[in-house]
Amino acid sequence: MTDEVHATAAGGVLRVTLNRPEKRNPLSRAVLGRLREVFRAHRDADLVLAVLTGAGEQSFAAGGDLKDLDRLRSLEEARALFDLGNGALEAIRGFPVPVVAALNGYAIGGGAELAMACDARVAAAHARIGFVQGRLNIPPAWGGGGDLCATIGPAAGLELLASSRIVEAPEAKSLGLFNAVAPAGEPFAGFVEGWLAPWRRQKPQVMRALKWNAAARKLGVERKEARARDREHFALAWCHADHWDAAKDILKKEARA
């Protein structure tokens, strides 16, 4: 399990990598638990920022690991899944310094939620993002829908949620989903480091204050109360037969691939 999430802290930067590229870096329960653990464990470290990315060049995070989650059928299990994923992403939202998502590839479903939980997103030219949960007949589980609408506005956010369409990098940049997109052909790692260079010159205490300025509205009481209702919406949809029919179709396609 620990091999699926790599974390190192050096030079004032926490670097976290989802490390299952052969499966497109899916979010299993073990991975979600490890992400929560990593970001909680480094809260008091002397950092200026954190960078979250995926291994490989295809996928940042492909969403929930359906093979791991296929056994969860009851309302209690769905609520527990909600709590686990929500805890992981809340650890990122509430991390005391900015967290930057380096989108090396697709951010799909739960992966899109993970990207939006971060404070900024830098993308490779071929990166895409899509809230495709509607194709599985469930809503976003972990607050990503709210993050999306807070970032680009409720009307534009609702359109992406309801259409379940995947957005390519140029449009994502124009909408404000991506802060920057690497030019095609430029090494992505170098582009990310160049983009982050001004951030790294700041002092830890300054970055903590700046993160709070940016994230305070996300962390308010109103949001926490809204998450309780989100939890029930997700659990009911997760346990509905429509969701499991759609998940079964995807698993069959993966088995044939």
Task: Label residue 31 by pLDDT band (50, 70, 90).
Answer: very high
Residue whose tokens read 């205490």: 205
Quote the pLDDT of residue 245. 92
Residue among 115, 120, 99, 121 nearest 208 (CA)? 99
The correct CATH number of 2-200 out of 3.90.226.10, 3.30.2130.10, 3.40.50.150, 3.90.230.10 is: 3.90.226.10
- State phi, psi for 156 to the nearest 5 degrees: -65, -40
Cα–Cα distance measured from residue 39 to residue 146, given in angstroms and rounded to the nearest whole number: 21
Could you tell me the two tokens for 42?
Answer: 């480094």
Quote the pLDDT of residue 254. 82
Quote the pLDDT of residue 46. 93
What SS3 state is found at 71?
Answer: coil
pTM value is 0.91
Could you tell me the two tokens for 87?
Answer: 């805890």
What SS3 state is found at 72?
Answer: coil
Helix extents (H) in the chain: 29-41, 66-69, 75-93, 110-117, 144-152, 154-163, 169-175, 188-200, 204-215, 221-238, 241-256
Quote the pLDDT of residue 214. 84
Residue among 162, 160, 96 nearest 129 (CA)? 160
Higher pLDDT, 40 or 229: 40
Quote the pLDDT of residue 37. 98
Where exactly are the structural domains of the chain?
2-200
- State phi, psi for 181 to the nearest 5 degrees: -130, 130
End-to-end Cα distance, the chain: 24
- Across-strand partners of 54? 18
Could you tell me the two tokens for 11?
Answer: 């030079």
Mean per-residue pLDDT for 166-170? Answer: 98
Mean per-residue pLDDT for 192-207? Answer: 96
Is pLDDT of 223 > 70? no
Cα–Cα distance measured from residue 228 to residue 243, given in angstroms and rounded to the nearest whole number: 21
Cα–Cα distance measured from residue 215 to residue 218, given in angstroms and rounded to the nearest whole number: 5
pLDDT per residue over 224-244, tens digit each? Answer: 677 777 888 888 889 999 899
Is pLDDT of 15 > 60? yes
Quote the pLDDT of residue 218. 63
Mean pLDDT of the chain: 93
pLDDT per residue over 119-160, tens digit each? Answer: 999 999 999 999 999 999 999 999 999 999 999 999 999 999
